[in-house]
Amino acid sequence: MEKIPSVVADIMSSPVVTIDGEANVRDAALLMTDRWIGSIIITERGQPVGIVTERDMLERVVSQCRDPCNTRMREIMSTPLITIPREMGILEAMKKMIEHNISRLVVMKGDALLGIVSERDVVRAVSLASLTSFSSLLRRRG
């Protein structure tokens, strides 16, 4: 039987796709499209400093008629990054997302970028844990 996920290390996506803050929005959008991802981590001198989501691109570039070829990622990124350790429990991560009104958390170990956890990852893990618990309860009753 598959292990029930309990900490963010069990559900995080890794490796994380990053792009330098000086890159333009168009290049980042092409990279995100190519990799089938909804967000990208922005780096400066190799260190993660911000995040840009598809929604950020819509709100901060498209809806404002900004030129994606002349707009730099550092201009539209959300910062500071909200980070968590890989050992954090999934429910605790969910609370942190709610507290900060965000849908993604960056998993770090010191200065090392380990992964990213999305709201969807958390919901999937909590659903799996609930279904597994419910199934074992039904087996005991039968």
Q: Where do the structural domains in the chain lie, given as residue ranges? A: 8-141
Confidence of residue 38 (pLDDT cuts 50, 70, 90): very high
**pTM for the structure as a whole:** 0.86
Confidence of residue 12 (pLDDT cuts 50, 70, 90): very high
Whether the Cβ atoms of residue 116 and residue 108 lie closer than 8 Å to each other: no
CATH of domain 8-141: 3.10.580.10
pLDDT at 37 over 80: yes
pLDDT at 139 over 80: no
Average per-residue pLDDT for the chain: 92
C-alpha dist (Å) from residue 43 to 10, 40, 50, 65: 25, 10, 7, 25
Tens-digit pLDDT profile for residues 114-137: 999 999 999 988 887 677 666 665
- Ramachandran class of 40: left when φ > 0, alpha when ψ lies in -120 to 50, beta otherwise: beta
In which residue are the tokens 């500071």 written?
80
pLDDT at 40 over 50: yes
